[in-house]
């Protein structure tokens, strides 16, 4: 759980050997290339991709059913296959649009029945004119002027066919006529059947084309590798017969780079980052903590030289999620989903990290749900072994408020403690320690109602914390009285700007209690409705109660998942980050061959 220490490597070799050397460095896969001096790119810009292959791959990956993938094929042409895939996609889109039009037109014509539109009746020149008239407007029809017939009645509307040589005037009918087109219903239905068959054939062709996914990905990776190598060729400073390349190298990879340079006879210099440098951030975590690393990378990387928040973000997110869910049954359902999708999760490194995250969240949710004694909204009797494990109640307002605010104090206090540790070699460490004292003092003072020994101790903590922030919020030498006044003024501004923010951030953790209580109340409500339905509805009571339980708890479970993710991450990325991290880093992007996902 750390940010890897980097060294700046400067390599020097012969220009004629540069292509081969860069290919070797790409095979090493541990260098973050630096652009030549005077340019702004960091060597991590996105490589242009062949648009047709990218679109074709996206279309094939979304196919619900896939064929066995081909690993090797003689004469495989990625461009031709991508063209076939995109042609299939275009035809399918065209046929899907036609199917939607036909379904809509058939729905409109169905109430009129299967009519063969006669066009004009011989020499009489009569035609059919169609109207959908509200039943209340029937009296407005002029029977002496029009020949009409009601052919269908539906939901308070009359479907009326008028036989006339010309379209009736707007005054003769209470509504405008309905345009049904000239194609009979039977022909539309026949065409719809043909379109559906065509769509089935196209889907089968799409499924057949999925066998080329691996080869398309390999072709795309090869194109990206060539483009990345060209970009690396431009990242050097050439002064014939020599070239110079600079790159960031993780400390644990220095030996490999040095061994390669010695074997190739390259000049190499390793240096620590200069104060003006802006090295990339490379997070290094144990496999069990990589899920937290993914969460951190998803939002904002810490700057180089800061600290890695992967572990606290991971475990606090799992705990916050569990408190919001507040039900052991829901946590068990989440845990059951893991073995169901175990293989699909393990298809990629990111999927493995997600699998570990879900396992952790499910485990913590089950434990917390047992501590609050909730199982799909049902609380076991206190004398049972499950009931004896209950030590809290989500409905206990006072206890839950104290607990969630304590979690907020501990969470934000940990963020300030990490900042203090980062600044431990300077006086700047005292300011975050002061904020910790302010939070602890405020919480103790509130818990003790400002009375007794705890109240006295809390007041001294508050006074001491404010004094520390006032004295060390701004680091500047004090040589005269004016320097001291400026330093104190800077401290006052720090307190004025962040004291109310601190108060609001701590109170923000009350959302854990509120969301947990809301989910628990909904679960109990659905249980009560199901129980009432089973007792009051004769015959269908059991079916109704089971339906209420399934629909109600499914809805509540989904709401709990969304709330747990959104608010669990929000408390980490907004409140925790604002007190624990300053600045933003950019990722370490190694110069290596493109990995092909499997």
Residue 64, CA distances (Å) to 67, 258, 344, 398 in order: 10, 48, 14, 50
For 299-310, the DSSP string reads H-PPPTTS---H
pLDDT score of 164: 78
pLDDT score of 595: 65
Whether residue 585 lies inside any domain: the answer is: no
> What whole-number distance in Å separates Cα of residue 368 and Cα of residue 320?
10
Sign of the dihedral defined by the CA atoms of residues 502, 503, 504, 505, in that order: positive
Give the residue carrying structure tokens 């049972």: 384
> What whole-number distance in Å separates Cα of residue 482 and Cα of residue 365?
56
Q: What length is written for the chain? A: 598
Whether residue 598 lies inside any domain: the answer is: no
Whether residue 592 lies inside any domain: the answer is: no
Instruction: Decide: 297 and 284 in contact? Cβ < 8 Å.
Output: no
Whether residue 590 lies inside any domain: the answer is: no
Give the residue carrying structure tokens 């895939």: 85
> Do both 57 and 150 map to the same domain?
no
> What whole-number distance in Å separates Cα of residue 574 and Cα of residue 300?
11
Domain of residue 275 covers: 2-43+237-280
Residue that terminates a domain, selected from 181, 204, 226: 181
Return per-residue pLDDT of the chain as tens, 598 residues. Answer: 689 999 999 999 999 999 999 999 998 989 999 887 655 454 444 445 578 888 999 999 999 888 888 888 788 888 899 999 999 999 999 999 999 999 988 887 777 766 665 555 545 667 777 788 887 776 666 556 677 778 788 777 888 888 777 777 777 777 777 776 667 788 888 999 999 999 999 999 999 999 998 888 888 888 888 888 888 888 888 888 899 999 999 999 999 999 999 998 899 999 999 888 899 999 998 888 889 988 998 888 999 988 999 999 999 999 999 999 999 999 999 999 888 887 777 767 788 888 899 999 999 999 999 999 999 999 988 888 888 888 888 888 999 999 999 999 999 999 999 999 988 888 888 989 999 999 999 999 988 887 777 788 888 999 999 999 888 877 766 677 777 777 788 888 888 888 889 999 999 999 999 999 999 999 999 999 998 888 887 667 788 899 999 999 999 999 999 999 999 999 999 999 999 988 888 999 999 887 655 5
Sign of the dihedral defined by the CA atoms of residues 307, 566, 316, 285, in that order: negative
Whether residue 597 lies inside any domain: the answer is: no
In three-state secondary structure terms, 447 is helix
Instruction: Decide: 515 and 324 in contact? Cβ < 8 Å.
Output: yes
Residue 531, CA distances (Å) to 519, 537, 554 in order: 19, 10, 17
> Do both 546 and 575 map to the same domain?
yes
Whether residue 382 lies inside any domain: the answer is: yes
Q: Which two tokens stand for residue 561?
A: 């998942």
> What whole-number distance in Å separates Cα of residue 372 and Cα of residue 390?
5
> Do both 453 and 475 map to the same domain?
yes
Instruction: Decide: 246 and 38 in contact? Cβ < 8 Å.
Output: no
For 157-195, the DSSP string reads EEEEEEEESSPPPTTTSSSPPB---SS-HHHHHHHHHHH
Question: What is the reported pTM?
Answer: 0.76
CA 552 to chain centre: 25
Q: Which two tokens stand for residue 324?
A: 């919001």
Question: CATH number of the domain that 252 lies in?
Answer: 3.30.70.340
> What whole-number distance in Å separates Cα of residue 7 and Cα of residue 4?
10
pLDDT score of 117: 59
Q: Please name the residues in contact with 58: beta carbons below 8 A apart, sequence gap of 6 or more.
A: none
Residue that terminates a domain, selected from 507, 537, 552: 507
> Do both 433 and 497 map to the same domain?
yes
> Do both 406 and 492 map to the same domain?
yes
Q: Domains in the chain: how many in total? A: 5
Whether residue 465 lies inside any domain: the answer is: yes
> What whole-number distance in Å separates Cα of residue 214 and Cα of residue 72?
9
pLDDT score of 143: 56
> What whole-number distance in Å separates Cα of residue 89 and Cα of residue 203?
9
375 strand-pairing partners? 378
> Do both 387 and 242 map to the same domain?
no
Task: Encode 309-367 in three state secondary structure.
Answer: CHHHHHHHHHHHHHHHHCCHHHHHHHHHHHHHCHHHHCCCHHHHHHHHHHHHHHHHHHH
Q: Containing H/E element for 468?
A: helix 452-472
Quickly count: other Cβ atoms within 10 Å of residue 202's Cβ: 19
Q: Please name the residues in contact with 194: beta carbons below 8 A apart, sequence gap of 6 or more.
A: none
> Do both 387 and 301 map to the same domain?
yes
> Do both 175 and 219 map to the same domain?
no
> Do both 88 and 230 map to the same domain?
yes
> Do both 388 and 515 map to the same domain?
yes
Which pLDDT tens digit goes with each residue over 143-174?
566 777 787 887 778 888 887 777 777 777 77
> Do both 388 and 520 map to the same domain?
yes
> What whole-number distance in Å separates Cα of residue 478 and Cα of residue 146?
102
pLDDT score of 116: 61
| Beta-strand pair 32-33/242-250 | antiparallel
> Do both 153 and 196 map to the same domain?
no
> What whole-number distance in Å separates Cα of residue 266 and Cα of residue 271?
16
pLDDT score of 408: 95
* Residue 268 dihedral angles phi and psi, to the nearest 5°: -140, 135
Whether residue 596 lies inside any domain: the answer is: no
pLDDT score of 45: 45
Q: Which stretches within 508-540 are classed as H helix?
A: 510-536
Instruction: Decide: 279 and 5 in contact? Cβ < 8 Å.
Output: no
The distance in angstroms from the start CA to the end CA of the chain is: 28
Q: Containing H/E element for 209?
A: helix 185-209
Most distant pair of Cα atoms in the chain: their distance: 114
In three-state secondary structure terms, 580 is helix
Q: Which two tokens stand for residue 339?
A: 């073995």
Burial 237-249 (b: 16+ CB within 10 A, else e): eeeeeebbbbbbb
pLDDT score of 300: 85
């Amino acid at each position: 759980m750390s940010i890897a220490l980097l060294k700046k490597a400067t390599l020097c070799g012969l220009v004629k050997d540069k292509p081969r050397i860069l290919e070797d460095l790409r095979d090493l896969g541990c260098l973050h290339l630096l652009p030549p001096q005077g340019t702004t790119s960091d060597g991590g810009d996105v490589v242009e991709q062949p648009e047709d292959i990218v679109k074709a791959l996206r279309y094939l990956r979304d196919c619900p059913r896939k064929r066995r993938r081909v690993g090797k094929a003689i004469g495989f042409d990625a461009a031709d296959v991508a063209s076939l895939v995109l042609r299939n996609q275009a035809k399918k889109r065209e046929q899907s649009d036609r199917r939607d039009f036909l379904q809509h037109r058939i729905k409109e014509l169905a109430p009129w029945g299967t009519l063969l539109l006669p066009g004009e009746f011989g020499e009489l020149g009569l035609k059919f004119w169609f109207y959908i008239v509200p039943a209340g407007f029937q009296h407005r029809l002029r029977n002496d002027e029009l020949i009409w017939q009601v052919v269908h009645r539906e939901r308070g509307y009359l479907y009326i066919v008028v036989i006339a040589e010309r379209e009736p005037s707007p005054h003769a009918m209470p509504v405008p006529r309905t345009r049904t087109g000239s194609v009979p219903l039977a022909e539309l239905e026949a065409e719809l059947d043909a379109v559906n068959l065509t769509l089935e054939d196209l889907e089968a062709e799409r499924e057949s084309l999925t066998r080329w996914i691996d080869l398309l990905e390999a072709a795309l990776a090869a194109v990206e590798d060539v483009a990345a190598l060209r970009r690396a060729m431009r990242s050097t400073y050439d002064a014939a017969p020599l070239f110079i390349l600079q790159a960031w190298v993780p400390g644990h990879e220095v030996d490999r780079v040095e061994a390669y340079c010695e074997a190739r006879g390259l000049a190499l210099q390793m240096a620590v980052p200069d104060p003006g440098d802006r090295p990339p951030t490379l997070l290094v975590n144990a496999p069990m903590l990589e899920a937290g690393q993914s969460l951190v990378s998803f939002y904002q990387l810490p700057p180089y030289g800061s600290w890695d928040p992967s572990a606290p973000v991971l475990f606090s997110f799992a705990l916050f999620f569990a408190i919001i869910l507040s039900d052991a049954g829901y946590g068990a359902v989440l845990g059951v989903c893991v073995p169901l999708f175990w293989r699909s999760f393990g298809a990629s490194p990111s999927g493995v990290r997600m699998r570990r995250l879900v396992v952790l969240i499910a485990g913590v949710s089950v434990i917390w749900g047992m501590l609050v004694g909730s199982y799909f909204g049902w609380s076991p009797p206190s004398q049972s072994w499950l009931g004896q494990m209950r030590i809290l109640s989500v409905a206990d307002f006072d206890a839950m408020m104290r607990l969630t605010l304590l979690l907020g104090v501990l969470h934000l206090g940990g963020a300030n403690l990490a900042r203090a540790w980062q600044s431990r070699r300077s006086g700047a460490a005292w300011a975050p320690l002061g904020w910790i004292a302010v939070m602890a003092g405020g919480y103790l003072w509130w818990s003790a109602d400002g009375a007794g020994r705890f109240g006295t101790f809390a007041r001294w903590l508050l006074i001491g914390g404010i004094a520390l922030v006032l004295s060390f919020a701004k680091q500047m030498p004090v040589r005269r009285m004016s320097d001291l006044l400026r330093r104190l003024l800077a401290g006052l501004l720090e307190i004025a700007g962040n004291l109310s923010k601190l108060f609001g951030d701590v109170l923000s953790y009350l959302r854990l209690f509120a969301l947990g209580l809301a989910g628990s109340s909904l679960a109990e409500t659905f249980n009560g409705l199901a129980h009432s339905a089973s007792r009051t509805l004769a015959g269908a009571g059991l079916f109704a109660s089971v339906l209420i339980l399934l629909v109600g708890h499914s809805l509540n479970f989904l709401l709990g998942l969304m709330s747990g993710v959104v608010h669990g991450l929000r408390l980490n990325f907004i409140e925790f980050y604002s007190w624990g991290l300053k600045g933003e880093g950019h990722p370490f992007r190694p110069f290596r061959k493109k990995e092909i996902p499997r």
